[in-house]
A and B are shown apart, each in its own frame.
Chain A
Amino acid sequence: MQKALLLFAIPFIAAAQYQNNRVTWIEPGGTETLPAFDQFDDFLGKLGVIQASGPVDTKGHPFFTPLGTNGRACVNCHQPAYGMSVSAEGLRERWRTTGGKDPVFAAFDGSNCPDLPQDQEKSHSLLLNRGLFRIPLQWPPRNADGSPKPVEFSIEVVRDPTGCNVSSVYGLKSAHPTVSVFRRPRPAANLKYVVSGAQNIVLKTGMLADRDPEAGKPVSMNLMSDAREPSLATQAMDAILGHEEARETPSGKKLKTIVDFESHVYAAQVEHVFAGPLVDPEGPFGLGPEALRDRRAGVLGDNDFDPVFGLFDSWKGKDYYRASIARGANIFMFRQFWLRDAAHINSIGLGNPLKRTCATCHNAQMTGQDLSAGWVDVGTTNYPTWTEPGTWADSADLPVFKITCQKTVDPHPYLGRVIYTTDPGRALISGRCVDVGSIVMQQLRGLAARPPYFANGSAKNLREVVDFYDRRFDMKLSEAEKDDLVNFLGVL
């Protein structure tokens, strides 16, 4: 009965949050002051956002001020109300409110391709339906000095509903060969965890980690979905020159201000619509943004004594939803299944298959990322396990690429030398065949505020995330276990 109540309640709550205009959309160039703590309705309750350095005056602040030519600022895609990311529903609302004039819909990457008619909704379908921004990546990839990297494979466009990869101006065979992939913006929050765990040598590759060009130190390589930018500063620079279409590089002072701001934002669910307030002195240590602010980064949580989000034992009582959340946490930590054919998990010496749990890979305490440089081919982008409904010739929304690996290189460990993919992932940066389809894991915090999920926005809700894993790894989860996992993920 209570479960049914939740199912009926979600649409009502989602509607209510827009009816009462509680959700705020911060426009670039505004003059608001962000409080030290704020909370926002989301579809499962409330998200809390902490500015750990105190209230932030947005006026003139480079995170909130357009620095380029298209009117955008960082905040366009990293809104506090959406867990410092942005949801597809929020974007649709923005389209309705502005008639598509908000700079978030900029032709460059807020549409399926810049050469499409920008006043038409269908030209922005991937952003509006799946929350995906276009990421144009030059091909072949380049070294820091601008020289082309050696590449182990050829890439062809099999089909592209967006048209961008076959465009004479923006495509793979244009004067500036470019591969366009479409990805969700990652949350600009809880970043001390995301950038921690750096080691000089990446265990998954046996190769050197990238280095922060400013500090000269190795970096975590967990910052972006393809790990292409080493530091918050270089990411900000790349975003300003790309997403904001700036013609001049921002000053070091502006970059530092952005990085300082991002490094002090913590976002997590603070209230569940039925389980109530989540920060509980007797409960798990990991919930709420204060815990994220206060705890130490770089801690391995794949253990039973200091687990990823804490122990939920005290919630195993009579309260229906808290008990369900606790069971979900237990499944996440302890429910064994066969991890199979996941490049950079099974292929790094752990064996295939590997009998383990969710926390084996989602092992970083507080975020559930991988503490090691975390790109993994979990199967979301590569045929046949990909999230799309069609065959390799019939993906519904996304472009499909054919990757053909050279005979002399190591093939993809489970897909061989010919791979069909909607996003080659890390391979577009590394040029390596073994990386095709590998995407850096993202943090599991503030999920209720920022659907859809996966880097390709294919999972409309948390249930679809769970269903994907259940299908992909034949977990044989019961309906009750799926509900528990969804409830658990919803309070992070």
Chain B
Amino acid sequence: MRLACCLWLLATAVAGAQERSFLACPIVRDTKTVPCFLAEYNGELYFLGIQQDITAAFHPPQLKHQVLVEGRVSEGPRVCGGIPLQPLSVSVIKEVDPACNTLLPAEPGIDAPPATRGAGPASRRLTEPPASESLSGRQEFTILFAFDDDYVEYASIAKVRKAAAYATKIGASAVNLMGYRATTLLSNGDRLVEKPGLAEKRTQAIATLLRGSGVPGVTADWKKEPEPGDGKTDPSRRRVTITVMP
């Protein structure tokens, strides 16, 4: 029993050692193709992602702003000189920080991973997204947000549209929203708490989109107090859930 407990603690400690949650200025590294986005923490460089387009899952951070990086150290070689993090969430801190202004030139031997879209115009036609799975019964759709943000990103818009289409298709008896704001536990032990009122703003934003998409019976509720942070799964708690009832 004591051994099992020790092993669990050890496993937890090792897992925790792989988590990274920190604020930093992003670093942009040019390459011969698309730029890489990196961030430095405790003397180590982390690879965040590459420039793609708005449909990509990764939305790069921004110079002139700090970025909140929440990720897990990934296996595999360095990318663009940085340790890859996966899964990863990046949030642009809203206040302007002119000190965040590092743009590194391209260097021989440092290449970006292959991009679905280069830095010029697109070179292939947009393909129709694969047909979504057939849904039935009660369904829950989770809309995630960046830290301290109520902006509904491209991927989230697609999810809202999917929820609206499903609710319309089945003639939903109710569509219930629940919104949250959350806490992020940084790797240095500090806690970042999203601003008061954000859960309501997020929920109302989604409710407006659903109602504007012709979905009747939308109810909206939100939790005023922030969700706790654990330094591992914090991005998943910055959310609005849409529950579609048959």
Interface residues of A (CB under 8 A from B): 200-201, 203, 205-208, 300, 302-305, 307, 333-334, 336, 338, 340-341, 346-357, 359-360, 408, 410-416
Known A-B contacts: A303-B123, A338-B103, A351-B61. Give 15 more (CB < 8 A).
A201-B157, A201-B213, A203-B154, A203-B157, A206-B153, A207-B209, A208-B212, A304-B121, A333-B121, A334-B120, A336-B120, A353-B35, A357-B119, A357-B120, A413-B64
28 intermolecular pairs with C-beta atoms under 8 Å apart: A203-B157, A205-B151, A206-B151, A206-B156, A206-B157, A300-B126, A303-B122, A303-B123, A304-B120, A305-B125, A333-B120, A334-B120, A336-B120, A338-B103, A349-B54, A349-B154, A350-B54, A351-B51, A351-B60, A353-B28, A353-B63, A353-B103, A354-B51, A355-B30, A408-B195, A413-B65, A414-B96, A416-B96
Residues B37 and A351 in contact, CB atoms below 8 Å apart? yes
Distance of A101 Cα from B53 Cα, bound (Å): 52
With a cutoff of 8 Å between Cβ atoms, the chain A residues found around residue B195 in the complex are 408
B33 → A minimal CB distance (Å): 9
The 9 closest A-B pairs by CB, nearest first: A351-B60, A206-B152, A352-B62, A349-B59, A208-B212, A303-B122, A355-B119, A416-B96, A303-B121
- Option from A207, A336, A346 in Cβ contact (under 8 Å) with B119: A336
Distance of A414 Cα from B32 Cα, bound (Å): 27
With a cutoff of 8 Å between Cβ atoms, the chain B residues found around residue A352 in the complex are 60-65
With a cutoff of 8 Å between Cβ atoms, the chain B residues found around residue A359 in the complex are 121
- Option from A303, A346, A355 in Cβ contact (under 8 Å) with B34: A355
- Option from B35, B51, B53, B96 in Cβ contact (under 8 Å) with A415: B96
Chain A residue at smallest Cβ distance from B152: A206
Distance of A66 Cα from B125 Cα, bound (Å): 48
- Option from A302, A341, A354 in Cβ contact (under 8 Å) with B64: A341
Given A208-B209, A411-B94, A416-B96: A346 and B122 within 8 A (CB)?
A: no
- Option from B123, B125, B205 in Cβ contact (under 8 Å) with A206: B205
Residues A201 and B209 in contact, CB atoms below 8 Å apart? yes
Asked if B208 CB lies within 8 Å of chain A CBs, one says yes
Residues B122 and A302 in contact, CB atoms below 8 Å apart? yes
**Which of B30, B64, B156, B205 neighbours the largest number of chain A CB atoms within 10 Å of its CB?**
B64
**Which of B54, B123, B151 neighbours the largest number of chain A CB atoms within 10 Å of its CB?**
B151
Given A349-B154, A351-B51, A353-B35: A413 and B96 within 8 A (CB)?
A: yes
**Which of A205, A352, A415 neighbours the largest number of chain B CB atoms within 10 Å of its CB?**
A352
Chain A residue at smallest Cβ distance from B212: A208
Residues B62 and A334 in contact, CB atoms below 8 Å apart? no
Chain A residue at smallest Cβ distance from B55: A349
Distance of A305 Cα from B122 Cα, bound (Å): 8
Residues A416 and B95 in contact, CB atoms below 8 Å apart? yes
Distance of A300 Cα from B153 Cα, bound (Å): 20
Distance of A201 Cα from B211 Cα, bound (Å): 12
Chain A residue at smallest Cβ distance from B61: A351
Distance of A359 Cα from B152 Cα, bound (Å): 25
Residues B154 and A305 in contact, CB atoms below 8 Å apart? no
Chain B residue at smallest Cβ distance from A415: B96
Asked if B161 CB lies within 8 Å of chain A CBs, one says yes
Asked if B160 CB lies within 8 Å of chain A CBs, one says yes
B167 → A minimal CB distance (Å): 14
With a cutoff of 8 Å between Cβ atoms, the chain A residues found around residue B154 in the complex are 203, 349
Residues A410 and B121 in contact, CB atoms below 8 Å apart? no
Distance of A349 Cα from B55 Cα, bound (Å): 9
**Which of B60, B103, B156 neighbours the largest number of chain A CB atoms within 10 Å of its CB?**
B60
Distance of A353 Cα from B30 Cα, bound (Å): 10
Chain B residue at smallest Cβ distance from A300: B126
Distance of A410 Cα from B96 Cα, bound (Å): 10
Distance of A303 Cα from B125 Cα, bound (Å): 8
Interface residues of B (CB under 8 A from A): 28, 30, 34-35, 37, 51, 53-54, 59-65, 94-96, 103, 119-126, 151-154, 156-157, 160-161, 195, 205, 208-209, 212-213
Residues B63 and A356 in contact, CB atoms below 8 Å apart? no
Distance of A355 Cα from B64 Cα, bound (Å): 16
Distance of A354 Cα from B28 Cα, bound (Å): 10
Chain B residue at smallest Cβ distance from A360: B121
Residues B94 and A410 in contact, CB atoms below 8 Å apart? yes
Distance of A473 Cα from B30 Cα, bound (Å): 16
A213 → B minimal CB distance (Å): 14
Distance of A490 Cα from B205 Cα, bound (Å): 43
B157 → A minimal CB distance (Å): 5
With a cutoff of 8 Å between Cβ atoms, the chain A residues found around residue B96 in the complex are 411-416
Residues B62 and A346 in contact, CB atoms below 8 Å apart? yes
**Which of B51, B119, B154 neighbours the largest number of chain A CB atoms within 10 Å of its CB?**
B119
Distance of A305 Cα from B153 Cα, bound (Å): 28
Distance of A414 Cα from B94 Cα, bound (Å): 9
A379 → B minimal CB distance (Å): 14
With a cutoff of 8 Å between Cβ atoms, the chain B residues found around residue A348 in the complex are 54
With a cutoff of 8 Å between Cβ atoms, the chain A residues found around residue B95 in the complex are 411, 416
- Option from A349, A351, A410, A415 in Cβ contact (under 8 Å) with B153: A349
Distance of A338 Cα from B63 Cα, bound (Å): 12
With a cutoff of 8 Å between Cβ atoms, the chain B residues found around residue A415 in the complex are 96
With a cutoff of 8 Å between Cβ atoms, the chain A residues found around residue B94 in the complex are 410-411, 413
Distance of A207 Cα from B59 Cα, bound (Å): 18
A325 → B minimal CB distance (Å): 18
Chain A residue at smallest Cβ distance from B164: A200
With a cutoff of 8 Å between Cβ atoms, the chain B residues found around residue A340 in the complex are 63
Distance of A359 Cα from B120 Cα, bound (Å): 9
B150 → A minimal CB distance (Å): 8
Chain B residue at smallest Cβ distance from A335: B120
With a cutoff of 8 Å between Cβ atoms, the chain B residues found around residue A206 in the complex are 151-153, 156-157, 205, 209
With a cutoff of 8 Å between Cβ atoms, the chain B residues found around residue A304 in the complex are 120-123
Chain A residue at smallest Cβ distance from B60: A351
Distance of A127 Cα from B64 Cα, bound (Å): 37
Chain A residue at smallest Cβ distance from B49: A351
Chain A residue at smallest Cβ distance from B157: A201
- Option from B30, B34, B37, B121 in Cβ contact (under 8 Å) with A334: B121
Chain B residue at smallest Cβ distance from A351: B60
B209 → A minimal CB distance (Å): 6
Distance of A352 Cα from B208 Cα, bound (Å): 29
With a cutoff of 8 Å between Cβ atoms, the chain A residues found around residue B65 in the complex are 352, 413
A371 → B minimal CB distance (Å): 12
With a cutoff of 8 Å between Cβ atoms, the chain B residues found around residue A357 in the complex are 119-121
- Option from A200, A346, A360, A416 in Cβ contact (under 8 Å) with B213: A200
With a cutoff of 8 Å between Cβ atoms, the chain B residues found around residue A303 in the complex are 121-125
Distance of A336 Cα from B157 Cα, bound (Å): 29
Chain B residue at smallest Cβ distance from A355: B119
Residues B157 and A351 in contact, CB atoms below 8 Å apart? no
